[in-house]
Amino acid sequence: MPAVPLLFVDHATALGGAENILLLLLEHLDRDRFVPHLAASPGLLAAAGRARGVTVHEMPLGRLRGEATAAWRFARAVRRLVQVIRRERCALICANSMRASLYAAAAAKLTRRPLLWHVHEIFAPGPYVRLMSGLCAGAIAVSASAAKPLRCAAKVRVIHNGVRPDDFAGDHRERAARLRAATLVGQVARLQPWKGQRDVIAAAEVVVSRRPNVYVAIIGGDIFGDAAAYEAELKRSVARCGLSDRIRLTGHQTDIRATLAALDIFVNASVDEPFATVLLEASAAALPIVAYASGGVPEAIVDGETGVLVPPGDHARLAAALLELIADPCRARALGEAARDNVHTRFDIRRMAGDVQEVLAALVGDAAPAVTVASGARG
């Protein structure tokens, strides 16, 4: 049976969590069964897809709200998507982000192709969820929390994100030695209020005031160009508490492996977090994790076994949990090692790719029972 062409659609120009997961998935698709195409706006995602051997169709997939020319630009982009679908004979359209899903849904409807909706967010019930729930032939949700608001339960499959655990392997004896001298606590997340940087700063004030050998790094930037005011607010907050030498905003870092290798403890303060692939990356790096038990986080971290979870919004409990791990390096190390083992067992990207391919095969009518990862895939 010839390989089936598929079209993935994502509007982002930068690389957020959903885009990085898409790139990993594209790498691990069985190319003997599926031929992936990517429709994306010009930018980092398009370039990264091309570097992975994917046929990329660049087209502007611009904002649809608050733009005077939005209707005209929407129609033009949908027309281009339709042309790609017909020319490449794509059997299935896969939408990977909220804005892209609207473009993809229209093109799928016009070409009578099934639409797969990959849900990376926790949506509030409303017109968008009703629309997409009705238009999609199937949906993948990154967590049970992301699946819950959807209006198409029979079509939804929860498939957790995955990582390549070995990418983050390292010699953790160096980290153990650092814990005895100075400790670096870090959060890695793009700058958005719901990612909880305010709470990390509030917890960090308590932690560094009680532990003179502890430093806190808030790692992440305004990658989508919509958080400049928030970034300025965070910098003012750190300056006001007089701890700029102990609490640092580092900006966006492109090398996540090196970033995690420099940390001793990982903190996550997102509220209504759909899943947070960075928690899997931190786990693969054997970092002890303290996080809010919100959204899909408890599906990635087992409280007391592979990390420490505290009630969402309670930055005092966040600080207390960090102080406990700093005071008990043996427990911190045990949690990190258990987290690493958990990722190898449950969240390897090859497992995710296999599960996604089962969904793809069902939607394109491929009844072959075996779903494998291509032998040439990088993993």
Reported as a single tens digit per residue, the pLDDT across 317-336 is: 999 999 999 999 999 999 99
Q: Which amino acid is at 231?
A: E
Q: Note whether residue 370 is domain-resident.
A: no
pTM of the model as a whole: 0.90
Lateral strand order in the sheet of 115-119: 55-58, 34-40, 4-10, 92-95, 115-119, 138-141, 156-158
Together in a domain, 231 and 329 = yes
The per-residue pLDDT of the chain, averaged, comes to 92
Together in a domain, 154 and 169 = no
Together in a domain, 201 and 153 = no
Going through 274-337 in order, the beta strands assigned E by DSSP cover: 289-292, 308-310
Together in a domain, 197 and 312 = yes
Using alpha carbons only, give the angle 321, 326, 329 rounded to the nearest 5 degrees: 115
Together in a domain, 205 and 69 = no
Together in a domain, 261 and 175 = yes
What CATH number corresponds to the domain at position 195?
Answer: 3.40.50.2000
| Minimum mean pLDDT range among 178-182, 233-237, 365-369 | 365-369
Q: Note whether residue 208 is domain-resident.
A: yes
Note the pLDDT of residue 347: 97
pLDDT in tens, 83-142: 999 999 999 999 998 999 999 999 999 999 999 999 999 999 999 999 999 999 999 999
Together in a domain, 292 and 335 = yes
Closest CA to 140 of 164, 168, 120, 111: 120
Note the pLDDT of residue 181: 64
Query: 179 pLDDT exceeds 80?
Result: no
| Cα distance between residue 213 and residue 91, in whole Å | 57
Give the domain range for residue 219: 165-345
Q: Note whether residue 37 is domain-resident.
A: yes
Note the pLDDT of residue 173: 52
